[in-house]
Amino acid sequence: MVRTEKEIKTRSDIRQRIQEALQQSGAGGCLLSVDVNLYYVTGRIYNGYCYIPAKGEPRCFVIRPQGWSGEQVVYIRKPEQMAEILHSQSIPLPDTLLMETDELPYNACLRLQNIYKPRVTGNATALLRSLRMIKTPWEIEQLRLSARLHDKTYAEIPTCYRPGMTDLDFQCEIEQHMRRNGSIGLFRTFGANMDIFQGSILAGDNAGVPSPFDFALGGEGMGAFAPIGANGTLLKEGMLVMVDMAGNYTAYLTDMTRTFALGKLPEIAYRAHRVSLNIQEETEHTARPGTPCADLYRLAVGMAEKEGLSHCFMGTKQQAKFVGHGIGLQINERPVLAPRSEETLQPGMVFALEPKFVIPGVGAAGIENSFLVTENGIEKITHAEEEIINLK
């Protein structure tokens, strides 16, 4: 695996940011083992740990794979060896240690605490998610690349449709185009019970079926074991089909939704879609560094209410209480555009805005795009056709 000088410098800068945050918090170090955090700080995913002291060089304690060399790479068979190795190198164990307590199993936390024996244990998950909100220039390049390939796939979606298809048939064809265009296939999310394959297709009334997943819309899915997205609905005349497939063409995910139609739709469907586009346009005019994320949520809700569409905004039977979310190594990063959000937009944030409506008997209408927060406002980085596209 060849890494550019720009990426290598990015990893160094990220580790420096983590150490500065550790020093500000009074923590002596943090220990990382979750895949996205390992990738964030080292550029690799491996079985093992990365220990970052508040001062000094990080250590990569690797169990698998074999063959990785480097000045700060140490191979171990079990985590207990970490303390022994640090001691042998005269590196003190931290009095306050941050671990990924929001993500690690309880027993893993107990084991690591017993190894490092900190007086205080803190939450590295919260720290890393906070730092990951602000993307480096290299990370932004990766998101732009993912967005371009995302656009390319979406431009090909109309060619995927054939009469007589179900939503699952349609999704399979789209997934094939995704893979041919470079999709890595993985759809990484933060949080338990959020497993989804590549993305979601919602056709007709399935768009209004509630799901236990914390996504904007749900769908029945293929069964109780996977209650999200396409459920085998036959695509037919007068139906909306919403495509929300992941932009996972690099390690950094973009998010984009487009709406397709089968023939003529009721007027309310076109009106709802237009309101979604208007919400996006008004957000583009309003959002800038310092804008409270909660204000952007209230803007969207207010516009939907003014148009008499609040009853179907972000769902019907179960309405999502957000209109956007951060994106990056996971599809649901911070910030969140929600009513109780205390976050404000900052340059370097990248987020998805997704105002959507569910029309009973027809399906879901709306839009979703990925935006970069710049010094002066926000910049859209996904650019596929935004109007409702007729598949017939």
Beta strands in 160-273 (DSSP E): 199-203, 239-245, 258-262
pLDDT tens digits for range 235-279: 999 999 999 999 999 999 999 999 999 999 999 999 999 999 999
In CATH, 5-131 is 3.40.350.10: yes
| Model-wide pTM > 0.75 | yes
- CB neighbours of 8 closer than 8 A, spacing ≥ 6? 43
Q: What is the pLDDT of residues 278-316, one digit of tens each?
A: 999 999 999 999 999 999 999 999 999 999 999 999 999
Which of the four CATH numbers 3.30.950.10, 3.90.230.10, 3.40.190.10, 3.30.230.10 does domain 137-390 have?
Answer: 3.90.230.10
Q: Where in the chain is the domain with CATH 3.90.230.10?
A: 137-390
Query: Of 5-9, 122-126, 263-267, 305-309, which gets the smallest average pLDDT?
Result: 5-9
Query: Does residue 196 register a pLDDT over 90?
Result: no
Residue range(s) occupied by CATH 3.40.350.10 in the chain: 5-131
Question: Residue 139, CB half-sphere, CA atoms under 13 Å: how many?
Answer: 24
Distances (CA, A) of 354 to 30, 137, 213, 281, 351: 35, 25, 16, 12, 10
- Candidates 344, 368, 312; CA nearest to 154 is 368
Using CA atoms, how far apart are residues 208 and 220, in angstroms rounded to an integer? 9
DSSP 197: S
d(CA 59, CA 49): 8
What mean pLDDT comes out for the span 177-187? Answer: 95
Question: How far apart are the C-alpha atoms of 185 and 285, rounded to whole Å?
Answer: 34
Token pair 């170090």: residue: 29
Angle at 244 between CA 7 and CA 265, to 5 degrees: 150
> Which pLDDT does position 194 carry in this prediction?
81
Task: Tell me the per-residue pLDDT of 91-121, one tens digit each, with 9 for 90 and over.
Answer: 999 999 999 999 999 999 999 999 999 999 9
Kindly report the average pLDDT of the chain as a whole number. 96
